[in-house]
Amino acid sequence: MSNAWSLHSDASGIVWLTFDLPGESVNKITTSVLSELDECLDRVAADTSAKALVIRSPKESGFIVGADINELSRIRDADDAKAKSAAGQAVFGKLAAMGVPTVAVIHGACLGGGLELALACDYRLVTEDDKTKLGLPEVSLGILPGWGGTQRLPRLIGLAPALTMILTGRPVAGRKAYRMGLADGIVAAAFAEDQGRRFIESILTRAGRGRVLKRRRRSQPALLGGLAANPFTRWIIYRQAARQVLGRTRGHYPAPLEALRVVRRTYRRRTLASGLAVEADGFSRLACTSISRNLVRLFGAGQRLKKAWTGEADPKRKPIRSVGVVGAGVMGGGIAWAFSSAGLPVRMKDINWDAVTGGTAAAAGIFRAMVKRRKMTEGQMNLAMHRISPTIDYAGFASLDVVIEAVVEDLEIKKQVLREIESHVRPDTIICTNTSSLSLGDLAAALDHPQRFVGLHFFNPVNRMPLVEVVGHGTTSQATILATVDLVRRIAKTPIVVGDCAGFLVNRVLLPYLVESAWMFEEGTAVERIDGLLEGFGMPMGPLTLVDEVGLDVGHKVAKVLEGAYGARMQVAGVLGRAVESGELKGKKNGRGFYLYDNGHKKPNPQAARFVQEARRLDGIKAGELTDAQIIDRAVLIMINEAARCLEEGVVDDPEVLDMAMVMGTGFAPFRGGLLRYADERGVASIRARLSELAEAFGDRFRPAPLIEKIASEGGCFYKDSEA
C-alpha cells in the first residue's frame, strides 16, 4: 500500500479524504493509489454516521496532476490498456455512487485523471488562485480521457465547451471553471478551509443544494442546451470540431479524432455505463500506438529536463533580482517582456530613444495580446510595463545582477558592446549574450573576466518559444551555468545546456534543413511543393515559409557564419545570396520573400523564381525533377547527419536532450518522437544507406557522419531503449 490516502471524520459527520502521495512533490494516480482509494471509499460507504465526503490535497503543487506517466508507458497491448481504463472507471464509478454528497476541493493543478476524479464527485470547489487549473490534457499524450472524462464532462458543462477542453487539452483557470459550471463554488486560497466548510455545510441542506443546481443550470445558456438537444445541431458541432482538429493537427494526431468519435457515439445516445465502455475501447486503440509512445516519451523527457543541471547554489553569489538588456530590437523587447512578466525589474538600453521605444513597444505588444486573450488584466499589464525602465546610457547598470547583450549579429560589434557592459557592472554580475550563431569563445576574448560570461540564446518569438539554450565556453564557471539555468526556469522557460560551437545546437542542426530547401528551390522545385511536403511530414511550417518568417537577410547572415565554420557541407545556396543582395526580398517583414504576403494571404513570389536563373549559372546547377521522397529526405536526413555530429563532438551528450531541443526549438514533429527517435524507428542502417545514395546524387554534404557509420555497422540505435 502507498498510504497516500488518509481518512478523518469530524464531529459534524463530514469525512475528509486527504490525498498526499508520499515522497512526491505532486499527487499522481498510480495503480496502488487507485486500489487504496477503492478501499477508502468502501470504508466511507460503511460509515453510517458520514454525512458528506470531501476530497482534498495538502500539497502546494496542487490537487492531482493526473495519472503516473511511467505506468502509461508500460501498457503492453490493447487489452491491457482497456483493463486499466476499466479499473479507473470502476473506482470513480464507486465514488459517483456514494450515498452521501461528495465534494472535491481543488487548489492548483487538477489535470487528467485528477479532473476525472473530481468529475465523479457531486460538487467541485476551486480556489481563485492563478495556479488553479482544470483540464484534460490526454490528447497531448496521444490518448483520450479514459476514466470517465469523455462522458461526465459533456453531461456537466454541455457539448461544445466540453469538446473544446477534450480536443485541445488546454486547461481552464479556476475562475473560468466557476463561470462555465465546471466548478460549483470558488473561494480564496488563504481561506479555503473555512469557506470550503461553509460551502459543504450549505449543500447538506435542500436550499443550499437547490442554489448550486440553479446556478449550474444558469452557467449553460438555455439556447446552447437546446441546440445540443437537436441532432442536426449536434452534427454541425461535430463537423466544425473535426475541421478544427484537422486544421490544427493536419491529421497527424489520431487522439483528438478518436476522442471526438467517442463523444459523438455516446453523448445523448447511451447510458453512462455503455458510454464508459465505448470510452475504454477508444482508449485502448490509442494507448499502444507509436504516436502515443513517442508523445509520452517526450513528456517524460521534458519532466527530466526540469530537474537537469541543478546543484548547490554558490553561497557567495547574490540572488538574481534585476536584469539588464542591451539591444532593444524585437528580440531585446521580447527578452525584456520575459523577465518583466516573471516579476523582475528590467533595465533596457539602446543607442537612441527611437530604438529603445521600439523595444518597449515590442514588449507592450506581447502584453496587450495577453490582455486580449484574458491571460492578464490591464492593471497587471501596466504594472509589468512599469518594471521595464528604458535608457540610452549605462545609468543603473552598476546594480544589476545579470545583463544580456542582444545587439546585431556581428562579431566585432558584439565584442565592443560586451566590453562596455563589463566596464559598467559589478565584478559578480553575470554577462550573457543572445547570439544565435557566433562562437562564445570568440566573444569571450573581449572580456577580462570570461568566467562569468555565458550564452543565453532565446528563440524568436520569445513569448511563444519555450526553449532557451544555455551555452558555456572554455572558462565559464559551473556556478555561472547553474545560476543561469535557474534564472531561465524562473521565467517559465526550459533551459538546455549545450557546448560552444558555431550555431550551438538548434541552429546548427536546423540551418542545413533550410539551406537544403533553398538548394532544391534553385534546382527548380516549386516553393509550395517543398513547403507542402515538409508540412505533410509534420513540420509546423514549410522551410521556405520559415525563412520568410525569420527574414531572408537575417537567415542568410546566420547561414554564412555557419558556412564559414563548417565549410562546404553548409554552403549557402546562391539563390539566397542573390535575393538578399537585391535588397528587395526580406521575407514577411516587407511582404516579399519566397512568397508574397498581402492581408494575411500568401502566394509564391515570381520575383524569387527570377533569381534562380542567375544563381544556377553562378553555382553550376542544372534544373532537375525531384521525387517527393527525395525532397523530404534531403531536408530531414541532412538534419539527422548534423545531429549525429553534434553528439560526436559533445555539443550535447544525450539523444533525448537533442530531440527535446529540436522539438521545443523548431517544432520538429512531436508525434515522431524527435529527430533521432525518428532515425531509430526508420533504422540507422537504412538512414546510412539513404544518405550514401543522396551523396552520390547531390554531393558530399550527405556523406554519413562517422557516428551514423558506427551505429549502423553495429546494428544499433541512437537510443538504447530502441535497441531493447
Catalytic residue chosen out of the listed positions 107, 386, 449, 457: 457
β pairing state of 133-135 and 172-173: antiparallel
Q: Is 283 helix (H, G, I), strand (E, B) or coil?
A: helix
Which H or E run includes 380?
helix 378-386
Angstrom CA distances, 709 to 54, 510, 688, 692, 702, stand at: 60, 21, 7, 10, 12
The answer to whether the CB of 231 falls within 8 A of the CB of 134 is no
The answer to whether the CB of 117 falls within 8 A of the CB of 66 is no
**552 contacts: CB under 8 Å, gap ≥ 6:** 576, 579, 580, 585, 586, 587, 593, 594
The dihedrals phi and psi of 172, each to the nearest 5 degrees, come to: -115, 150
For the chain, state the CA radius of gyration: 28
Tell whether the torsion through CA atoms of 263, 269, 272 and 276 is positive or negative.
negative
Q: How many Å apart are CA 88 and CA 108, to the nearest integer?
A: 22
Cell of 535: 508540412
Closest CA to 508 of 705, 334, 328: 705
Q: Is 170 left (phi over 0), alpha (psi -120 to 50) or beta?
A: beta
To the nearest 10°, the Cα dihedral for 251, 255, 257, 262? Answer: 170
Q: How many Å apart are CA 366 and CA 333, to the nearest integer?
A: 9
Q: How many Å apart are CA 593 and CA 586, to the nearest integer?
A: 6
Residue with cell 526553449: 467
Q: How many Å apart are CA 663 and CA 103, to the nearest integer?
A: 40
Q: Is 62 left (phi over 0), alpha (psi -120 to 50) or beta?
A: left
Q: How many Å apart are CA 336 and CA 95, to the nearest integer?
A: 48
What's 221's DSSP letter?
-
Q: Is 457 a catalytic residue?
A: yes
Closest CA to 543 of 516, 570, 568: 516
Residues with a known catalytic role: 457
